[in-house]
């Protein structure tokens, strides 16, 4: 069976047993109408600069998710939570329809091919030819198309009062999801972003790609209304340009200021711990930097590389699974999680090893669960 072939037969679902593969997350057979949270696969890795594979993330996570135990010792009735899988169909115009994630796969193959030519040329230290500059423009247009599609799909779930969770794909897939989250708040309310990441992703553009994975938070901060803050956790690989942006928007005393970035870098966290502070105290500070409504953008490389060895740009250091989960639980207890994404999960090249997807699936289940229990 092809990974993402949705099975129409709704086999009996038993939470105490291993799931039956049906092309849906966690093997859940439910109608999306019954689900408070719906997961949207966005298999897109057009702008990856180091190692490809994030486009295979959603299918790999779906496969690995079958064996995730749905019981959570801290949350009542956690095993009863119904999680949906997006089934938006894209009309191809001639009466033919395609599932959105299959459509995105095709878009990605075309634009990745172009982007790769540009990246290869640049990494050879050469200048782009006129035809490559034209291609660069086309890649940017495809990225805009992707952003719009993700935004529209997320909007459709907000209309139904459901929480959308986007599964990437490279980190750029978060843009459309965050735009939709910010647009669907109650009047006058603002959104804070909690970003788990090894990288700041605050570059104005990267390799000439306006919607690069390395620029996603720059774009979020500069192109989306209603965002009041960005809180970064686990950052440990960033450039001067990004450092300057962080500095410019930090040191604000309160969230009533126009916009604030709080960067809990990996070294800052380690230093506080080495000097005797515990993770709970640091989590309290992280939560203090967040407004009532929080969108969580989780780049898997925010975790220790041993938990995501095949991700596009792994960096030493990072959060343990337990620390990330503890922080997520604290956010859910104290704030309202309005949307989330998990990105940059990439399976092993030979497909033999499920480890990255296994970690991703477990994290995804916790994020889906906690976003629902956070609703107050």
For Mn ion, the closer CB: 199 or 362: 199
In the complex, least distance from residue 54 CB atom to Mn ion, rounded to whole angstroms: 10
In the complex, least distance from residue 327 CB atom to Mn ion, rounded to whole angstroms: 17
Residues 6+ apart with CB under 8 A from 189: 226, 292, 293
In the complex, least distance from residue 28 CB atom to Mn ion, rounded to whole angstroms: 28
For Mn ion, the closer CB: 72 or 356: 356
In the complex, least distance from residue 344 CB atom to Mn ion, rounded to whole angstroms: 6
For Mn ion, the closer CB: 72 or 197: 197
- Assess contact for 295 and 340: CB atoms under 8 A: yes
In the complex, least distance from residue 227 CB atom to Mn ion, rounded to whole angstroms: 17
Q: How far apart are CA 57 and CA 3, in angstroms?
A: 11
For Mn ion, the closer CB: 103 or 298: 298
Q: How far apart are CA 272 and CA 281, in angstroms?
A: 10
In the complex, least distance from residue 201 CB atom to Mn ion, rounded to whole angstroms: 4
In the complex, least distance from residue 199 CB atom to Mn ion, rounded to whole angstroms: 5
In the complex, least distance from residue 197 CB atom to Mn ion, rounded to whole angstroms: 4
For Mn ion, the closer CB: 299 or 356: 299
Chain center to CA of 79: 23
- Assess contact for 204 and 240: CB atoms under 8 A: no
User: Which chain residues interact with Mn ion by CB under 5 A?
Assistant: 171, 197, 199, 201, 299
In the complex, least distance from residue 300 CB atom to Mn ion, rounded to whole angstroms: 9
For Mn ion, the closer CB: 88 or 265: 265
For Mn ion, the closer CB: 223 or 292: 223
For Mn ion, the closer CB: 27 or 234: 234
Q: Return the closest-CA partner of residue 140 out of 220, 212, 43, 224.
A: 212
For Mn ion, the closer CB: 157 or 196: 196
- Assess contact for 38 and 157: CB atoms under 8 A: yes
Residues 6+ apart with CB under 8 A from 340: 163, 165, 166, 295, 296, 297, 298, 367, 368, 371
């Amino acid at each position: 069976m092809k990974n993402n072939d949705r099975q129409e037969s709704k086999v009996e679902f038993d939470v105490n047993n291993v799931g039956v593969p049906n092309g849906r997350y966690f093997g859940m057979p439910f109608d999306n109408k019954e689900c408070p949270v719906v997961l949207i696969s966005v298999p897109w890795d057009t702008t990856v600069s180091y190692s490809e594979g994030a486009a295979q993330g959603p299918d790999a996570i779906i496969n690995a998710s079958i064996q995730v135990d749905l019981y959570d010792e801290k949350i009542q009735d956690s095993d009863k939570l119904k999680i949906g899988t997006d089934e938006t169909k894209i009309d191809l115009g001639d009466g033919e329809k395609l599932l959105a994630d299959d459509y995105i796969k095709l878009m990605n193959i075309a634009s990745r091919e172009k982007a790769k030519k540009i990246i290869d040329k640049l990494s050879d230290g050469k200048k782009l030819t006129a035809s490559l500059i034209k291609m660069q423009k086309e890649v940017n247009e495809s990225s805009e198309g992707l952003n719009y599609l993700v935004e529209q799909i997320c909007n459709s779930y907000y209309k139904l009062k459901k929480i959308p969770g986007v599964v990437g794909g490279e980190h750029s897939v978060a843009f459309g999801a965050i735009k939709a989250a910010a647009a669907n708040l109650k009047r006058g309310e603002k959104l804070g972003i909690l970003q788990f990441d090894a990288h700041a992703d605050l570059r104005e553009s990267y390799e000439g790609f306006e919607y690069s994975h390395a620029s996603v938070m720059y774009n979020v901060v500069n192109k989306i209304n209603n965002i009041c803050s960005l809180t970064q956790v686990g950052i440990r690989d960033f450039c001067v340009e990004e450092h300057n942006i962080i500095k410019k928007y930090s040191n604000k005393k309160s969230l009533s200021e126009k916009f604030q970035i709080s960067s809990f870098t990996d070294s800052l966290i380690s230093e506080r711990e080495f000097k005797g502070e515990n993770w709970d105290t640091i989590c309290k500070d992280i939560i203090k930097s967040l407004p009532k409504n929080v969108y969580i953008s989780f780049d898997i490389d925010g975790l220790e590389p041993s938990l995501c060895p095949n991700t596009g740009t792994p960096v030493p250091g990072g959060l343990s699974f337990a620390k990330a989960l503890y922080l997520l639980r604290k956010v859910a207890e104290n704030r309202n999680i309005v949307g989330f994404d998990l990105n940059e999960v990439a399976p092993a090249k030979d497909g033999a090893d499920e480890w990255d997807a296994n970690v991703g699936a477990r994290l995804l289940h916790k994020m889906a669960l906690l976003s629902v229990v956070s609703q107050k």
